[in-house]
Chains A and B, each alone.
Chain A
């Protein structure tokens, strides 16, 4: 029997599909004879009372979630997402540098430092990656802070905005596809497989309608993990191996018959009736990992 704390914020309960998944985690934990409690930020001091911590609130090295994760880690608790995974996944510069170092196939990427935002460097980047390029802030999540630029003016415009928070940005080749593979990985093993469809006429999973603030999301098509092509499996596991041994959602694109990693996400979305619809054991497996 294990006491599991699930660190959440109020917004984790605003979408009934996410709330459904959280309740599924709770039932799975209790069925296995564990205690499962939702831990909100006013009770962070209670972390030492638990055996493991499962973080569902959005993670970032600058968020409360990191404080919870590192506190649990320092106290010797089992924790998803662990602080190192948050550090690497929360900063895409860090992540791509690791992909580069360990030869993980990924979308062609160059880094741009704050003092390189000049005509010569921008031209070099367009020559190398073609037009348009995708400019990514290191702290991107839920398709935010990722924008396209097809000319120097819009490049400067986007980069200047993203440079306010980070002194280095990632610039990537524009690689439109009909969908991204989303491979759920836990402890070096495949947990679930989905296709995150890109909305029609858009180029990312979560896209804004012209002139409107609301984000529309592409459909999620769930597949059985046995249906995952061997090469994607290999690429997904290799990408996770440079990050850590926790729970990840790997985004992969098919480009010219091969597969490249877009990014590895810690704290991947799990919505009832979406990521879980083919492999229904994902809740039990995550709970077992936390309680063993």
Chain B
């Protein structure tokens, strides 16, 4: 099969890559691989996948997966269903509920239309109030809270592959990619003494992408466009 590669990242390869704006004005009916550093809802990375779906093209990633993977509670729910280790979470705007049901420390992710990046860690009640005030935009929105049981770190995942050496972390990245097919993203993971858990998925900024990262992404893109892998064929 032929795979059309649409990318807003400058890939280090000599294969044909189309700019998002060109694709949005086209009616090309081919399996579409949408590479973007940020698949934010209503940003170009999202509209590329939407346009491909409307054209009836198979596309990586799908609109549904773009939306779901960026809503932390849905990310965790679907990832858990797929066998990825996660911790129980709460979606709430109640400090009391988080305190009694999860305790401290907790990790907070925003669940609102405006904040798409970052998280807060709260070690006590006053930090929790501050975190909920900022991520809940003055308590206007709920947040997603998870217990923090180990060390939280962030890794870049390219097609489910990561430079991190830990096998549990590698397994999480691989499973998350199989489930949501987000080619380029940051994964927030926490590691206790003996186990790693998925906590969140967020976009990678262009500045975070090193020369080696670009080569890595390009290599994967090349493989997929040659073999049609991940398109379910």
CB-based closest 8 A-B pairs? A62-B113, A166-B42, A42-B94, A97-B54, A44-B91, A167-B44, A41-B142, A61-B67
Question: Shortest Cβ distance from B187 into chain A, in angstroms?
Answer: 20
Point out the residues of chain B lying under 8 angstroms from A165, CB to CB.
42
Which residues on A are within 8 Å of B, measured CB to CB? Answer: 41-45, 60-64, 66-67, 70-71, 74, 83-84, 87, 91, 93-94, 97-98, 101, 111, 113-116, 138-139, 165-168
Interface: B129 (CB within 8 A): no
Question: Shortest Cβ distance from A134 into chain B, in angstroms?
Answer: 19
Point out the residues of chain B lying under 8 angstroms from A94, CB to CB.
50, 54, 63
Interface bits B47-66 vs A (CB < 8 Å: 1, else 0): 10011001000000001100
Question: Shortest Cβ distance from A51 into chain B, in angstroms?
Answer: 18
Q: Are B42 and A138 in contact (CB under 8 A)?
A: yes
Interface: B77 (CB within 8 A): yes
Interface: B147 (CB within 8 A): no
> How many CB-defined contacts (below 8 Å) exist between A and B?
89
B25, B44, B47, B112: which contacts A62 (Cβ < 8 A)? B112
**Cα(A64)–Cα(B41), bound, Å:** 15
Point out the residues of chain B lying under 8 angstroms from A113, CB to CB.
21, 24-25, 44, 47
Point out the residues of chain B lying under 8 angstroms from A45, CB to CB.
90-92
Interface: B160 (CB within 8 A): no
Question: Shortest Cβ distance from A44 into chain B, in angstroms?
Answer: 5
Q: Are B64 and A87 in contact (CB under 8 A)?
A: yes
Given A42-B97, A63-B113, A87-B63: A74 and B91 within 8 A (CB)? no
Question: Shortest Cβ distance from B167 into chain A, in angstroms?
Answer: 28
Point out the residues of chain B lying under 8 angstroms from A63, CB to CB.
112-113
**Cα(A66)–Cα(B94), bound, Å:** 19
Q: Are A62 and B24 in contact (CB under 8 A)?
A: no
**Cα(A83)–Cα(B97), bound, Å:** 27
Question: Shortest Cβ distance from A43 into chain B, in angstroms?
Answer: 8
Instruction: Please indicate which of the listed interface residues B41, B63, B64 has the most CB atoms of chain A within 10 Å of its own CB.
Output: B41
Interface: B104 (CB within 8 A): no
Interface bits B64-98 vs A (CB < 8 Å: 1, else 0): 10011001011001100100000000111110010
Question: Shortest Cβ distance from A52 into chain B, in angstroms?
Answer: 18
Q: Are B74 and A67 in contact (CB under 8 A)?
A: yes
Interface: B195 (CB within 8 A): no
**Cα(A139)–Cα(B47), bound, Å:** 14
